[in-house]
Amino acid sequence: MTLQTRPLFGFAADVPFGQGAAAEAVVQAAEAAGFDLFSITDHPYGAQSFEPYAAVPYLLGRTSRISGYVGVTNLPLRPAPMLARTVASIASLSGGRFALGLGSGGYWEHITRMGVPHLTPRQAVDAFDEAIDVVRRLTGGPGRPVDFEGEHYRADHLAPSAVPTPPIWTGSGGPRALAITGRKADGWIPPGGADWTTQVYREGRARIDAAAGEAGRDPAEIITVVNLGTPILTAADVAQTRGPDGRFVGGSARQWVEELTGAVSAHGIAGFNAAVLDENGSINLDTIARFGAEVIAPVRDTLGR
């Protein structure tokens, strides 16, 4: 099962709506190139985006090894008990090739256009907290029926699905959500494209680790998967591989290998999610193949040694 490999390599498979054949082709190409994961964002209020809980299972059905996740699930649009049934079904049908990316909700000006009541930031995080409990209790069965009475979700005598709970990765950013991640989640996707060089990562990871320790958990059990942005692969080394905010922005394949190897060995990063785009902003099959051969394989070889 690819979610057990380290480091994990993923990519954003957000192909424009109507280009289903292209979506299938890029995910199959990524699987062949050695990627472990693909992700699709959850913004269904946009008519030009695939609905991810339809697209991810379809693409898993057209592949055999690569895993998928929704990055991250727009929780206010997906009631937790139904979400639990959905992710159990995807995990079962795909042979476990699925992780639950989960967020408390952003872009409320758009979310409410779909008939969902507006929640305050505190209410949204409270619902996020409850949702993790609901998903865990309604998966991992068989077991006794679940009765859950929360402020935001309710389950009345529902039997848990006889499927292991998928890994739960959060896109949390605020102090309360980070603490919940430390107590209850399996992984963290730092928000806003923050990587291992940023204050967002350092402070967020410290909050997660502290909350995990207080809950009696080993912080190392909670992995970090970072979003890389566009993987700019240059023909030769470049002098500047970091942007104004200090984040890694690309370079030659050798520089990519050095950066990602260091991220794993020195900072404990467990996975990378790249936007595999060409200079025109399109997903490019050649770039996918090259990234696999020139970055993924050498990183794994180096870490293997």
Task: Give the per-residue pLDDT at 4.
Answer: 74
Domain architecture of the chain: domains with CATH: 2-304 (3.20.20.30)
Decide: 243 and 198 in contact? Cβ < 8 Å.
Answer: no
Q: Which distant-in-sequence residues (6+ apart) come within 8 Å of 156 by Cβ?
A: 147
Instruction: Report in angstroms the alpha-carbon separations of 246 from 197, 219, 226, 249.
Output: 7, 26, 15, 9
Asked whether the beta carbons of 75 and 128 are under 8 A apart, the reply is yes
Q: What is the mean pLDDT of each run of 10 residues along the chain (305 residues)?
A: 80 82 92 96 87 96 97 95 98 97 92 94 97 97 93 96 97 96 97 88 97 97 90 82 83 92 95 76 81 95 86
Q: What pLDDT was estimated at residue 280?
A: 61
Q: What are phi and psi of 168, to 5 degrees?
A: -105, 115
Backbone angles phi and psi of 260, in degrees to 5: -70, -35
CB-based contacts of 44, cutoff 8 Å, min separation 6: 51, 52, 74, 77, 114
The pLDDT value recorded for residue 194 is 87
pLDDT at 1: 46
What is the reported pLDDT for 281? 62
d(CA 80, CA 133): 9
Whole-model pTM?
0.94
Q: In sequence order, what E strands does 104-254 have?
A: 146-149, 154-158, 168-170, 187-188, 223-229, 233-234, 251-252
Q: What is the pLDDT of residue 2?
A: 63
Taking CA atoms, 120 is separated from 123, 126, 174, 301, in Å, by: 5, 10, 13, 47
